[in-house]
Amino acid sequence: MNKILAIVKKELFRFLTDKKLMLTTVLLPGLMIYGIYSFMGDGMANMLGTDEDYKPIVAVYNLPEDLNTRFKLLYMEQTDVSNLSLDKAKEEIAAQTLDLVVYFPEDFSKKIEEKSGLPEIEIYYNSVNNESAKIYQFVANTLTTYEDSLANAFTMNSKGETYDLASDEDMSAMIYSMMLPMLLLMFVYSGCISVAPESIAGEKERGTIATLLVTPMKRSDLALGKVISLSVVALMSGVSSFLGTMLSLPKLMGSEIEGMSAAVYSMMDYFLLFLIVISAVLLLTAVISIISAWTSSVKEASTAVSPLMIVVMLIGVSSMMLTGERMSTLFYLIPVYNLVLCMNGIFSFSYELSQIFVALGMNLVVTAILVVILTKMFNSEKIMFSK
């Protein structure tokens, strides 16, 4: 026990006092993700959004009496068209000095009344101009509603209430449960690969592990000490990336969903999530440690762990295809995949505690088996002293 502690202390000292390494593996990932997502979110909002106070300028020709009230309700300014020819108005639309032209045929009302033929309304707009595109939508909607009212069979969603009843919670849950399991898994994985190859393959490469192997320490103590300490560092890196994502995802999605926030989850949700992440870190660190122990240099180890990255990513992506249906507990016995299931469940408020504990237990068992394998590898002269 004391020796495991000594190893853990030494490894943590190695990583935590290394400012450069801390910066690149712990501080930067979180900051970068926060920065990039926020920037992307702001950018998208700017691109799609319009100036709230701007009153679009619209040229309306031959507006029928019936539509007068409906058009007055629209937030726009009708310009005087007595001196503006249609062609001139179109030019102004192209030049973005005018936002919309609505042209009713002169006999519009008459044709409607007599039900003779289909009168054509022409609406000119400029899709590059956000304000123009927006007011085009409003006018088109108004006209469609007017058309519906003429037919007068039934109306739909015309009372101006909020008909989309999804709550902020549901919206957040959907987005988070689609994106975060994959992102989290990748963050944890990249946290692991930034420290484990260095600490195990690196020690082999530099010949410093032999110095440890001639001390009367149990090989299992060494394996456990390494896995625990590397997990701590990987966890720090993972948590940093996670915080960056959690805090900036609402900004990234903000242009589409209002009221999205990481605050919809309870402390219990976060606590369970933390347990899941810890078990993910332990499991992945053990896997990468084994790969690192098997290779003979940091470079070789980094090459060897990249195919696994693809597998982990694919498993992560599978969270996007989960339909929210409850899966059989058997699926929670599959290591790594069960992490995705659990995280998806937590983010979409549809988990069952017993299944999460099955997954946690299973991952712990697998990690223990991997540590035993690592111990055997530390014991094998062929593996430890092969170059």
Partner 1 sequence: MKTILHVEGLKKTFKLSKKQQKIEKTKQKLKVAVNGISFDAYEGEIFGLLGPNGAGKTTTLRMLSTLIKPDEGDALVDGFSIVKQPEEVRARIGFLTSELKLEDYFTPNYLYDFFSDLHNVPKDVRDERKKELFERFEIDKFAEVKVANLSTGMKQKVSLVISIVHDPDIIIFDEPTNGLDILTAKVVTDFLIELKNSGKSIIVSTHIFSLVEKICDRVGIIIDGKLVVCEKLDTFLNGMNLEDRFFQLYEETVGGLHE
Q: Does residue 3 interact with partner 1 by CB under 8 A? A: yes
Looking at the DSSP assignment, which residues form a beta bridge with residue 59? 79, 101
Q: Does residue 376 interact with partner 1 by CB under 8 A? A: no
The span from the CA of 88 to the CA of 133, in Å, is 19
CB of 16 to partner 1, least distance (A): 12
The span from the CA of 323 to the CA of 305, in Å, is 31
Name the residue among 282, 280, 225, 190 with its Cα closest to residue 14.
225
CB of 375 to partner 1, least distance (A): 13
Q: Does residue 386 interact with partner 1 by CB under 8 A? A: no
Using CB under 8 A as the binding criterion, the count of chain residues that bind partner 1 stands at 22
The 13-52 site mask, x for binding partner 1 (CB under 8 A), equals xx---x----------------------------------
Of 96, 215, 266, 303, the one binding partner 1 (CB under 8 A) is 215
Of 51, 65, 87, 381, the one binding partner 1 (CB under 8 A) is 381
**Strand, coil or helix: what is 122?**
strand
CB of 29 to partner 1, least distance (A): 22
The 184-203 site mask, x for binding partner 1 (CB under 8 A), equals -------------------x
One-character DSSP codes across 128-181:
TSHHHHHHHHHHHHHHHHHHHHHH-S---S-S--------HHHHHHHHHHHHHH
The span from the CA of 166 to the CA of 76, in Å, is 30
Which region, judged by CB under 8 A, interacts with partner 1, from 8-16, 151-159, 317-325, 348-356? 8-16
**Strand, coil or helix: what is 102?**
strand
Which region, judged by CB under 8 A, interacts with partner 1, from 119-127, 142-150, 176-184, 207-215? 207-215
Enter the tokens of residue 205.
Answer: 């490469």
Enter the tokens of residue 271.
Answer: 């606590």
CB of 186 to partner 1, least distance (A): 28
The residues in 54-113 that bind partner 1, with binding defined as CB under 8 A, are none
Q: Which phi and psi angles does 349 have, rounded to 5°? A: 55, 35
Q: Does residue 217 interact with partner 1 by CB under 8 A? A: yes
One-letter amino acid at 121 equals I
Looking at the Cβ atoms of 20 and 115, the one nearer to partner 1 is 20
Entry field: residues in the chain: 387
Contacts with partner 1, residue ranges (CB under 8 A): 2-3, 6, 10, 13-14, 18, 203, 206-208, 210-218, 381, 385
